[in-house]
Amino acid sequence: MGFTFDKKPTIEIDGKEYICDPTDVNLIEGISEHFPKLLAIGSQMEELRVQMIGKDKSADQMREHNEIFIAKNRELLTECQGFIHGTLGIEEYNEIFSGRRPNSVEHLKLCTYIFNEVMKGRAKVLEEYLDPPDNEQEVLDASDKAAGQHSGEKD
């Protein structure tokens, strides 16, 4: 039998499975480039929200804060779209959000879900390489013990 590729991991979104491979180059770029920006924009939006509900604002100041908040909301949506494009794919994004109006909260929730699933998936992949199976560890321990006895060390 020849070489076969491993089955790619998937995540479920609205009852449908989507490939979400934590070793995929585009996914890694989406995670590393877009997710930190999402967090920063979210923090900026929270600061703006606090400023907007603060007292002693003139109408011009309120209008300015509102304009900045709206722009940040659009920026958040754009970063979320980039994240989802990078992690799942453009066609998959279009399918997931087909018939839905632009909503930064829904996008952010999906991004957080994807991020958490990817991190769980990466941990599983890394465990295979970093954490030897129990029997392998027993062999290593026995080897270390034998090496210690041969060098004159005692248990």
Give the 3-state secondary structure of residue 56. coil
Query: Torsion-angle region of residue 41: left (phi > 0), alpha (psi -120 to 50) or beta?
Result: alpha
Write the burial class of residue 27 (CB in 10 Å: 0-12 exposed, 13-18 middle, 19+ buried).
buried
Least Cα distance to 110 among 134, 82, 129, 136 occurs for 82
Q: What is the pLDDT of residue 145?
A: 63
pLDDT greater at residue 145 or residue 56: 56
Listed range (52-66, 83-97, 113-127, 134-148) with the worst mean pLDDT: 134-148
Residue 150, pLDDT > 70, answer no
**Amino acid residing at 98:** S
Rounded mean pLDDT of 60-81?
Answer: 90
- Inter-CA distances, 141 with 53, 132, 134, 136, 144, Å: 62, 12, 10, 9, 5
Task: Write the pLDDT tens digit of every residue in 126-149.
Answer: 666 666 555 555 656 665 666 555
Residue 153: which pLDDT band, with cuts at 50, 70 and 90? Answer: very low
DSSP conformational letter for 154: -
Residue 120: predicted pLDDT: 81
Between 16-25, 51-60, 65-74, the lowest mean confidence (pLDDT) is in 51-60
- Supply the angle between the helices 25-53 and 59-87 in degrees, to the nearest 10: 160
146's tokens: 């034998």
Residue 69 structure tokens? 């908040």
AA letter at 144: D
